[in-house]
Amino acid sequence: MNTKTDVDKLLMNSFKKLVMTIPVEKITIKEITDEAGVIRPTFYNHFQDKYEVIERIISEEILLPVKPLLDNEMVQEAILLVFTNILKEKDFYCRLSGMEGQNSFASIVKSSVRQWIYTFISEKVGTKKFKSAWLTPGRVADYYAQSMSFVVLEWIASGMPISPGEVAEIYHYILTRSMDDILQELEEA
């Protein structure tokens, strides 16, 4: 274990293991470091608190793997990968979904997704301007983070009753149509 990344992974895995038996709110930093076999100050060299551990897990295990797909404009495949990776850790994410209050799972997911989408949009847009000064990369990121978070959180909270492929297809359907399109399609059905 010599690199920062190795220790980060060790602490994240320790946290994930503890979540399976202890409610997140009751997990202590000492329990995380004891499980990881490191001393307590090591934790604070890598993370601010246990909620940052959750943010990093979401970032590295859910969001980062989809970047190459998005870079190649494979949006539907990226969405499918998000849901597939969440399903791989179903028990972990279902346990996190019960977190409420100031550091709720929903707020951590929204913040993580928003930051990731903001970075992606900023890289794509560069110095180009949107049609309206009010429409900024931040507002676009907020909009898409809200919708993506909603679908992810609802799917997890409902116990993931449909496959990643089905939920990805539903999200892609909503994402690529206007409300007018959807209403028209419902009228025609």
Is 54 domain-assigned? no
For residue 148 the two structure tokens come to: 């993506």
Measured distance CA(14)–CA(105) in Å, rounded: 18
**Is residue 61 included in any domain, yes or no?**
no
Structure pTM? 0.88
The CA–CA distances, whole Å, from 76 to 89, 106, 110, 157, 175 equal 21, 23, 20, 22, 10
Kindly state whether residues 26 and 89 are assigned to the same domain: no
Give the domain range for residue 14. Answer: 4-47
Is 98 found in the same domain as 28? no
Please check the confidence at residue 1 and state whether its pLDDT lies above 70.
no
The arithmetic mean of pLDDT across residues 135-154, rounded, is 93
**Mean pLDDT, to the nearest integer, of 124-145?**
87
The answer to whether residue 128 scores a pLDDT higher than 90 is: no
**Other CB atoms within 10 Å distance of the CB of residue 185:** 11
In a domain, 153, yes or no: yes
What is the mean pLDDT of the segment spanning 134-156? 93
Residue identified by tokens 């797909």 is 69
Average pLDDT on 64-73 reads 91
Mark whether 42 and 86 lie in a shared domain.
no
Number of domains in the chain: 2
Q: Is the pLDDT of residue 74 over 70?
A: yes
> What percentage of the chain reaches a pLDDT higher than 70?
99
Burial 117-133 (b: 16+ CB within 10 A, else e): bbebeeeeeeeeeeeee
Residues 117, 127: Cα–Cα separation, whole Å? 17
First-last CA distance in the chain? 59
Kindly indicate the confidence band of residue 152, based on its pLDDT and cuts at 50, 70 and 90: very high
Inform me whether the pLDDT recorded for 2 exceeds 60.
no
**CATH number (domain holding residue 42):** 1.10.10.60
